[in-house]
């Protein structure tokens, strides 16, 4: 049964390579910047303590048509292995390899379930948009965990249950209509989409059909997939724990941030819950997350998790996330930054802004607090002030935290 499903998935990505291939990785990088799972972009989130080595061994598991090539291009010091079931997607990746002379990129046609057979280990594993297509995603994550170096880090993307509710309703209709992965199935899907009402869960808050439905490969990937499942926040926590790994944080906390969507007593009640419960509440409330991007590591990295319940946070080195800008009037300051789900706006006070202005990506929080601006208040008072600011800015994804010496 499992092999039949894997075979159907392979055939789909042979016929409909996804994401749509790109012609030029340099131009793509110039236009869109690095991928959010790229170690150049997500370095602090992958390794707050500093990356384990410069020449990372990177595995792109289920690399599709371009991901491994984009990572190899942006990380010339690193050795990148891209694996995929689909020969078509690998051929696209190979064209990019030749075009940009990516000698640090190796490509292999194989299932990620067999990665252990190579007897290699990796510092960074990227597996985005893949595990939810396996007949047994748990077995997939375990196979990857087995080849992750003890100090390694993994970036994963899984579909979101709440945000994809509309997708599953439409998939169900298409199954009833017998639509398959062929020209006739595509025609049926396109015809059906004409009748999807504007209040349907498939339609985005801006009133549009998902952008991915613009081309055939996108329609097949979203609506005619033979194997696809989605995850709630608690599903993800269980999934990660079952593979013996730890959840190491979202790629961006903003879509899970209680402060953005609640206020008053309800906000206080939700903030009193453990972090994973808060995220589950917001995921269910907003129904915006059609994907979850997150990091996982091995249990020995638990000590590098960002937390504010002891005074250890004073030794963290805060970094302002790229794209964050201070704006607004003197008495109504905000932080603002773009995100795929729209602008992230975080109101801040003037004293909070003063603390943020001291952040240079080098000084620890205690070094920042030793500035004359803050030493007028009692040590305990300024520690608690910094704790509240940093925790709130971490919850909204505006601040990321490295460790001293990193
Ligand atoms: C939606 S694409 C994502 C591609 C890429 N990771 C990205 O984010 O652009 C999913 C890819 O996973 C591959 N895939 C699915 N199951 C796989 C498996 N068991 N082993 C390796 N690749 C697999 C498919 O062939 C397809 O190219």
Q: What are phi and psi of 244, to 5 degrees?
A: 75, 25
| Average pLDDT of the segment spanning 67-85 | 97
Average pLDDT, the chain: 94
Tell me what pLDDT residue 289 has.
Answer: 95
135 lines ligand 1 (CB under 6 A): no
Location of structure tokens 């509309």: 166
Centre of ligand 1 from the C-alpha of residue 1, in Å:
19
CA distance 278 to 272: 8
| Distance between CA atoms of residues 136 and 2, nearest Å | 8
Q: Find out whether 247 and 294 touch, Cβ atoms under 8 Å.
A: yes
More confident position, 10 or 247: 247
CB 133 near ligand 1, within 6 Å: yes
Cβ(305)–Cβ(394) below 8 Å: no
- Which pLDDT tens digit goes with each residue over 195-244? 999 999 999 878 889 988 988 999 999 999 988 999 999 999 999 999 99
**Domain 311-403, CATH 3.30.465.10 — does that match?**
no
Contact 17 CB / ligand 1 (< 6 Å): no
Does the Cβ of 144 fall within 6 Å of ligand 1? Answer: no
Instruction: Tell me what pLDDT residue 403 has.
Output: 93
Q: What is the pLDDT of residues 83-115, one digit of tens each?
A: 999 999 999 999 999 999 999 999 999 999 999
User: What is residue 2's predicted lDDT score, i.e. its pLDDT?
Assistant: 57
Q: Which of 16, 61, 62 to mutate to test ligand 1, by most ligand atoms within 8 A of the CB atom? A: 62
Ligand 1 closest atom vs CA 60: 6
Q: For 99, phi and psi rounded to 5 degrees?
A: -60, -40
Rounded to whole angstroms, the Cα distance separating 212 from 210 reads 5
Cα(111) to centroid of ligand 1, in Å? 9
How far apart (Å, rounded) are the C-alpha atoms in residues 220 and 225?
6
| CA 226/CA 8 separation, integer angstroms | 7
What is the reported pTM?
0.95
- The angle, 0 to 180 degrees and rounded to 10, between the axes of the packed helices 165-176 and 216-223 is 90
CATH H superfamily, domain 2-161+230-303: Vaccinia Virus protein VP39 (3.40.50.150)
Range from 41-50, 171-180, 333-342 carrying the lowest mean pLDDT: 333-342
- C-alpha 128 to ligand 1 mean position (Å): 8
The response to whether residue 111 sits with its C-beta less than 6 Å from ligand 1 reads yes
65 Cβ below 6 A of ligand 1: no
What's the pLDDT at 405? 60
CA of 308 to the centre of ligand 1 (A): 37
Find the angle CA(161)-CA(166)-CA(168) to the nearest 5 degrees.
Answer: 70
DSSP state of 315: G
pLDDT band of residue 10 (cuts 50, 70, 90) is confident
Ligand 1 centroid–CA 15 distance in Å is 13
- Ranges in the chain annotated CATH 3.40.50.150: 2-161+230-303
Distance 89 CA to ligand 1 centre (A): 9
Complete DSSP assignment for 334-393: EEEE--TTS-EEEEE-HHHHHHHHT--SSS-HHHHHTSTTTTTS-HHHHHHHHHHHHHHH
* Nearest residue (CA) to ligand 1, atom 15: 130
Q: What is the 9 CA–ligand 1 centroid distance (Å)?
A: 9
Q: Which residues contact 240 (CB under 8 A, 6 or more apart)?
A: 141, 246, 247, 296
Residues of the chain with CATH 3.90.930.60: 311-403
**DSSP E strand boundaries for 17-130:** 57-61, 79-84, 105-109, 122-128
Band (pLDDT 50/70/90 cuts) for residue 61 is very high
Alpha carbons 246 and 329: distance in angstroms, whole number? 41
């Amino acid at each position: 049964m499992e092999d039949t499903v894997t075979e159907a998935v392979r055939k789909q990505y042979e016929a409909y390579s996804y994401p749509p291939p790109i012609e030029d990785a340099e131009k793509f990088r110039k236009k869109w910047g690095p991928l959010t799972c790229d170690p150049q972009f997500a370095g602090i989130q992958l390794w707050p303590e500093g990356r384990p080595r410069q020449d990372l061994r990177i595995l792109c598991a289920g690399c599709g048509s371009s991901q491994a090539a984009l990572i190899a291009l942006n990380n010339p010091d690193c050795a990148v292995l891209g694996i995929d079931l689909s020969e078509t997607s690998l051929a696209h990746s190979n064209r990019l390899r030749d075009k940009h002379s990516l000698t640090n990129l190796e490509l292999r046609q194989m299932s990620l379930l067999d990665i252990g057979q190579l007897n290699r280990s990796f510092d960074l594993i990227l597996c985005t948009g893949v595990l939810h297509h396996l007949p047994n995603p748990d077995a997939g994550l375990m196979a990857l965990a087995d080849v992750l170096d003890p100090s390694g880090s993994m970036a994963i993307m899984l579909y979101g249950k709440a945000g994809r509710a509309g997708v599953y309703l439409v998939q169900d209709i298409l199954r009833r209509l017998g639509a398959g992965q062929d020209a006739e199935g595509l025609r049926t899907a396109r015809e059906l989409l004409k009748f999807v009402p504007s209040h349907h869960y498939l339609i985005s808050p801006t009133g549009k059909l998902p952008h991915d439905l613009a081309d055939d490969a996108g329609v097949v990937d979203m609506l005619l997939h033979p194997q696809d499942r989605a995850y709630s926040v608690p599903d993800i926590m269980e999934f990660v724990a079952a593979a013996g790994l730890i959840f190491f944080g979202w790629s961006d906390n903003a879509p899970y941030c209680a402060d953005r969507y609640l206020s008053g007593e309800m906000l206080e009640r939700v903030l009193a819950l453990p972090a994973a419960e808060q995220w589950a509440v917001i995921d269910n409330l907003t129904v915006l997350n059609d994907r979850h991007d997150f990091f996982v590591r091995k249990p020995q990295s638990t000590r590098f998790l960002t937390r504010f319940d002891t005074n250890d946070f004073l030794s963290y080195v805060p970094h302002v996330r790229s794209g964050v800008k201070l704006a607004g009037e003197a008495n109504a300051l905000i932080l603002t930054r773009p995100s795929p789900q729209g602008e992230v706006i975080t109101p801040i006070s003037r004293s909070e802004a003063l603390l943020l202005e001291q952040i240079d990506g080098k000084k620890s929080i205690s070094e920042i607090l030793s500035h004359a601006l803050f030493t007028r208040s009692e040590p305990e008072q300024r520690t608690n002030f910094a704790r509240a600011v940093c925790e709130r800015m971490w919850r909204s994804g505006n601040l990321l935290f490295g460790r001293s010496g990193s």
